[in-house]
Amino acid sequence: MIEVQEQQNQLTPYIDQFERFEQDSELSPAHFLPIRKAAIARFAELGFPTNRDEDWRFTNVAPIANMVTSPASQRTAEVSPSDVSPFLYPELDGPLLVFVNGRYCASLSHTQSMPDGVRVLNLAEAISAGDPVIEEHLARHACYQDRAFAALNTALFEDGVVVHVSKGATPDKTIQVLFITSPESVATVAYPRVLVVADESSQVSIVESYASVGPGDYFVNSVTEVVAGANATVDICRVEHEGDNGFHIGSLHLHQYRSSRVQYHLMSLGGRLISHDVYALLDGEGIDCSLNGFYVVEGKQQVDNHLWVDHAKPHCDSREFFKGVLADQGRGVFCGRIIVREGAQKTDAKQTNQSLLLSDRAQIESNPQLEIFADDVKCTHGATIGQISEESMFYLQSRGLSKAAARNMLVYAFAAEVMATLKILPVKTKLEAELFSRLPRLETTSA
Amino acid sequence: MLEIRNLHASVEGKEILKGLNLSIKAGEVHSIMGPNGSGKSTLAQVLAGHEAYEVTEGEVLYNGKDLLDMESDVRACEGVFLAFQYPVEIPGVSTNYFLRAAMNSIRKYRGEEELDAIDFLQVVKEKTKIVEMDEGLLQRNVNEGFSGGEKKRNEIFQMAVLEPSLAILDETDSGLDIDALKIVAGGVNQLRRPDRSMLVITHYQRLLDFIVPDFVHVLVDGRIEKTGGKELALELEDKGYSWIEGAASTAV
Ligand SMILES: Nc1ncnc2c1ncn2[C@@H]1O[C@H](COP(=O)(O)OP(=O)(O)O)[C@@H](O)[C@H]1O
Ligand SMILES: [Mg+2]
């Protein structure tokens, strides 16, 4: 009884936030209001997950559930160009969209250099304008029936990005999107939303970053939907730079059609709790799906990655390659489920999760799951958990490298394998440099 | 240059070196031979500063300084080099990057200027010739996927680059065919200098046909039981170790 009451108390502020959406026809035009209503109803039924839910066994979201949040978008924030510059890649001279507390910020963005065949819109405008891409795709791929956080986002998001690449367009510029939170004295919540639609034989490359300025508590609940049309090529790099008091629960819902190629990177570089789901539906023959991840946790941080790769059609390749460095009392969870549907013959699915523990108190739960309903398939998974090798340390030291230098070299080498797969060069260079500069701190926190 | 006195060392509580004495002067090449498990590698690892080996008694002076008091990287900076019996593979670190970091660490210690990538490459390319090593190996991760012979060559190549004053070679000949052996030994001979000493550990006399030592020592059960000139190696080849082992046990 008490528990039920507590649950109700946790949900009330969010359900209250919804009232605004029922009345606002800009945020909820007639065609979208039913979806919002269904989503909030579903959220109210599901409630926040607990450790009794299989997918949340190792992750405690009570700090989020108990956080009394107010919508970040309702607060004015002073964010200057110098606040956001650490999270940008100036060498990428394509469109840049910056969102502060979930709201589009025109003064920090520039969208002049829009390549031909690409539309980059802010979602709020696209929704109120009734853009056909919205009607066709928004909330059609991110299933919220069983996912409380996806339901919450669907009910309450206000703004975000729509990238639509038309048939055959192959823009040569990378699109940058940055969602920045500016936490204040009260805890805030923001609901970034991204929709990427790459039509047939088109190509697109996107960096999707999340970061914060300032020390306060906050919660980010994001949802990204990506549709890779037939024969399309999509490259997305997501970088999470959340602050020490930032909680981020996000998900990617990827729908791939025939012969499409998607390369996705999930770089989790900071945050109190970062939990990310990836649902990849391989819904056509000859698809290539590559999901890569790298995470660093220190202090009492936690990073979760849950991946579902659904091979629905034959002749598809999927690669999951996730590596993590866990220092201090950091925790990590990796759950990778590969589903091979009946008839999805010649599936080639490979999953790898490697963790490097830098302290005795760091922990990783690595949990591969295979569900295979076809007989002519190749599925492999491998999880390794290791520490810095004493023999390697001695070898390097015997050549004159100090203990710290030897250790840094080995940690960096561990990460290098994932970094090397980053195709967007300025992102690769910057993240490598950032990781390198963090190594000494990882060392001292773990000692 | 090196003075080992009454050295006792143990690993995991088991005593391996049991009072070892050895003195090496500048420019000398000493060979240590001995049966499997007699403690040859233990001696090499103790001199290089491996923390798993605990020195329980004795002292080691290197150029008059207490070697055992130094961290292993300081020993390297002071000019001690160990060619490993089993070189370690280091995935993700290129040979080139690793060796430049090592070289610059040593140069910094000595107050010399660090080398940039271009100058370093110049030095290194020259040194690959000493052991006829394929330059392509420089771009590969340290020892990863190297053949046994390539690993041993890589050790001598590193020695050539780092220019130590005391080189300890632990079974650098083992597992090499005669052609590779000649190349590796030839490399070592090119590195012989009046101010550089070498401790050549081997299980097989054959190496000493190519690297001719000034002294040969026989290590049995953690102690040097016999010392002689290069002809001692031939005698061991003929008679095996049992006559020394026998003498050692009767002496107890
Ligand atoms: N790291 C170690 N841990 C446990 N035992 C060891 C270790 N290194 C050497 N030993 C033991 O010490 C003895 C001497 O080994 P080693 O010095 O390698 O001999 P050698 O090189 O002469 O063949 C052997 O009995 C070996 O098993
Ligand atoms: Mg040995």
What pLDDT does residue A13 have? Answer: 85
B106/A398 touch (CB, cutoff 8 Å), yes or no: no
8 A C-beta contact, residue A230 and residue A259: yes
CB-ligand 1 contact for B202 (6 Å cutoff)? no
How far away is chain B from the Cα of A269, in angstroms, using its nearest Cα? 20
What pLDDT does residue A4 have? Answer: 66
List the single residue in B with minimal CA-CA distance to A394. B50
Residue of higher predicted confidence among A2 and B245? B245
Is the model's pLDDT at B238 over the cut of 90? no
Q: What is the pLDDT of residues B17-47, one digit of tens each?
A: 999 999 999 999 999 999 999 999 999 999 9
8 A C-beta contact, residue A97 and residue A161: yes
Residue nearest to atom 10 of ligand 1 (CA): B11
Q: What is the DSSP letter of A398?
A: T
Distance from the CA of B63 to the center of ligand 1, in angstroms?
Answer: 28
A288-297/A261-270 β-pairing: parallel
Is the model's pLDDT at B251 over the cut of 70? no
What pLDDT does residue B252 have? Answer: 41
Q: What is the pLDDT of residues B51-96, one digit of tens each?
A: 999 999 999 999 999 999 999 999 999 999 999 999 999 998 999 9
Chain B residues within 8 A of A417 when measuring between CB atoms: 91-92
Among chain B, residues having any CB pair with chain A shorter than 8 Å are: 48-52, 71-73, 75-77, 81-82, 84, 87-88, 90-93, 98-99, 101-103, 105-106, 109, 141, 158, 162
Residue stretches of chain A with pLDDT short of 70? 1-4, 75-76, 443-447
What pLDDT does residue A166 have? Answer: 97
Domain boundary assignment for chain A? 2-283
Q: Quote the pTM value.
A: 0.87
Distance from the CA of B17 to the center of ligand 2, in angstroms?
Answer: 13
Q: Which amino acid is at A387?
A: Q
How far away is chain B from the Cα of A123, in angstroms, using its nearest Cα? 42
Q: Which of B41, B43, B84 to mutate to test the pocket of ligand 1 (most atoms within 8 A of CB)?
A: B41
At A166 the three-state DSSP class reads: coil
At B243 the three-state DSSP class reads: helix
- At B247, the pLDDT band (50, 70, 90 cuts) reads low
Is the model's pLDDT at B249 over the cut of 60? no
What's the CA gap between A175 and A173, in Å, rounded? 6
B101/A401 touch (CB, cutoff 8 Å), yes or no: yes
What pLDDT does residue B242 have? Answer: 79
Q: What is the pLDDT of residues A272-322, one digit of tens each?
A: 999 999 999 999 999 999 999 999 999 999 999 999 999 999 999 999 999
Integer-rounded Cα Rg, in Å, for chain A is 21
Instruction: Name the closest ligand to CA B39.
Output: 1
